Amino acid sequence: MGRVSERVCIVTGAAQGIGRAIGEALLDEGAKVCFADINGDKVAEVAEANRARVSGPDEVVTSAQVDVTDREQVRAMIAHTVETFGRLDVKFNNAGVNKPMKFMDVTEQNWNFIMGVNGLGCMIGMQEAARQMIAQGGGGKIINTASIASRQGFDNVAPYCASKFAVVSLTQSGARDLAKHDITVTGFAPGVVATEMWDQVDRDLMEIGAADRPGQAMEEFSSEILRGRVATPADVTGTTTFLASRDSDYMTGQIVMIDGGMTLV
């Protein structure tokens, strides 16, 4: 039996990168997983590839197109998961965006875009998952993706850092409010993880004159990482599966750092 056997999980931002890896690791440990993403075609392909990979007598994979900032779409994603698998046990609020801008150039549009997906999207995701868990009689786990940018400000990404600080406080507030329903809320904070997100970040950094070439920002961060390299998505999935499992049942309100020793607080 796997560590999360039979647990019904939703992972947002699961068409690629960290979210896809979280979902696949959960499947490997026996969970049933709804891969959800705003990119509906791509996330359906991810689900299909996994269906082929873990094929067995029972349906254990599904997918949903969702914009995490739209409450009705979030409700529909949860309803689809419950129709498919009968319940919801674990909800990962992982979808996130970044769009670097120099601090003095940050616009309301840039702020609202990033805070919308990373902040409001996380809050709606927590509320609607909890509503379903409470309707089932309580119990469940909500797990939010924070960041090293939840701990300190970085150059050229002020709204992103603000949004990830918000994820920490939402995790703490949610943990307090939902404890009476036996729902835990935790989070994990990756350092620098090599995903598609960095391709866009590199392009944006070059556009604003903050980098000369792709990969420069990652290289500069690498020198600050005690483990000597940036992470791959596989480096975070041991922790995310642990947070989804019964092994972490006594934890709530906490953020686990997975940054290779980039921050020491």
Q: Which residues contact ligand NAD (rule: CB under 6 A)?
A: 12-13, 15-19, 37-39, 66-69, 94-97, 117, 121, 145, 147, 190, 192-193, 195-197
Minimum CB–partner distance for residue 67 and ligand NAD (Å): 5
Minimum CB–partner distance for residue 117 and ligand NAD (Å): 4
- Active-site residues, by number, are 160, 164
* Rg for the chain, CA atoms, rounded: 18
**DSSP designation for 117:** I
Would you say 16 or 84 has its CB closer to ligand NAD? 16
Task: List Cα–Cα distances, 136 to 3, 110, 181, 182, in angstroms.
Answer: 22, 38, 10, 12
Would you say 88 or 117 has its CB closer to ligand NAD? 117
Would you say 134 or 194 has its CB closer to ligand NAD? 194
Would you say 94 or 245 has its CB closer to ligand NAD? 94
Task: Write phi, then psi, for 73 (nearest 5 degrees).
Answer: -70, -35
Asked if 100 contacts 155 with a C-beta cutoff of 8 angstroms, the reply is: no
Burial string for 124-154 (b: 16+ CB within 10 Å, else e) reads: bbbbbbbebbbeeeeebbbbbbbbbbbbeee
- Give the burial class of 233: count Cβ atoms within 10 A of its Cβ; 0-12 exposed, 13-18 middle, 19 or more buried: buried
